[in-house]
Amino acid sequence: MKAAALITLVASKVGEGRALASFHGLRHIDASLHALNKPRQVHAFIRSEAFESPYIFLLHSEGLSLVQHKEGDFLSIRADFHGASVRYRRDKGGGKNQMIAKAVGIRSSEVPTVLDATAGLGRDAFVLASLGCAVTLIERVPEVRALLADALSQAANWSDANELGLASILERMHLVQADALDYMPRLLRQDAPDVIYLDPMFPLRSKSAQVKKEMRVFHDLVGTDPDAADLLPAALACARKRVVVKRPRLASALGSVLPSYALEGKSNRYDVYTCA
């Protein structure tokens, strides 16, 4: 793990922070005295610690965030399965008419099982789970996997008190600690998913200021993701019905392998590979 430490900013979560830090083999810092400080003061505290790594975890009232701090720039990312924007997309996002739903083959009479082999922050997996799919999430980057695990836990706690219907969605999401290229070949045929969903890393645009902050963090954390093209043949050998690859609209096909067909939106494209 590249993160240097886990800093807890809320007194009520210090015990949780210590446990998380111990689980991940990280140094824990109780910074709950800074809970009411402004962000710039928290940033100053982080700089004062002179961490060797540009990555640290922050545990605050909303959950766990990964912070990248370097050259005076602070970027923070977190996974979220119960916030206002997530609930809005669930309610207003178009349901089974969404392009991702059509790409994986969701119909009134069919709800496929899905393996999200490049889960990232889990947004697409959550959409599919909210539409009824049982989704297995694989994320090989330990920092990102920690964010996913925390988001699932935070959402489960929130649903108990606020929205019991969310619990059924979360029950359909199963997070696996693995590398997809190792995991997929080991699946027995009877355990293979109907659909494997891939959203591999794509090179940043040259004007990095236009790139979302989370993508900048992902690219710095993960690197070039050189084995992305290897995911497609492994997925095709594993999936029962289809493999779906999410790509930027104008990007070339993954590994230069043309899909069976594609669904194109304003900024993204779903390349669909049907399995024999």
Model confidence over 251-269: pLDDT tens digits?
999 999 999 999 999 989 9
Lowest model confidence (mean pLDDT) among 92-96, 195-199, 232-236: 92-96
Q: What value, to the nearest 5°, has the Cα angle with vertex 79 and ends 49 and 230?
A: 100
Q: What is the pLDDT of residue 203?
A: 63
CB–CB of 235/243 below 8 Å?
Answer: yes
Q: What is the pLDDT of residue 210?
A: 42
Give 91's contacts (C-beta < 8 A, 6+ positions apart): none
Residues above pLDDT 70, as percent of the chain: 95
Alpha-carbon separation of residue 121 from 78, 124, 214 (angstroms): 7, 8, 9
**pLDDT tens per residue across span 40-67:** 888 889 888 889 899 999 999 889 999 9
Lowest model confidence (mean pLDDT) among 24-28, 81-85, 194-198: 81-85
pLDDT at 199 over 60: yes
Helices 142-162, 213-222: inter-axial angle, 10-degree rounding: 140
Read off the DSSP letter of residue 110. B
Read off the DSSP letter of residue 267. S
Q: What is the pLDDT of residue 95?
A: 83
Q: What is the pLDDT of residue 205?
A: 57
CB–CB of 198/254 below 8 Å?
Answer: yes
- The mean of the pLDDT values for the chain is 89
**pLDDT tens per residue across span 60-74:** 988 999 999 876 678
**pLDDT tens per residue across span 119-156:** 999 999 999 999 999 999 999 999 999 999 999 999 99
Give 164's contacts (C-beta < 8 A, 6+ positions apart): none
Return the domain boundaries, the chain. Answer: 5-77, 84-274
Strand, coil or helix: what is 197?
strand
Lowest model confidence (mean pLDDT) among 80-84, 159-163, 204-208, 217-221: 204-208
Q: What is the pLDDT of residue 208?
A: 46
Name which CATH class applies to 84-274. Answer: alpha beta
Lowest model confidence (mean pLDDT) among 15-24, 80-89, 172-181: 80-89
**pLDDT tens per residue across span 200-217:** 887 655 444 445 777 778
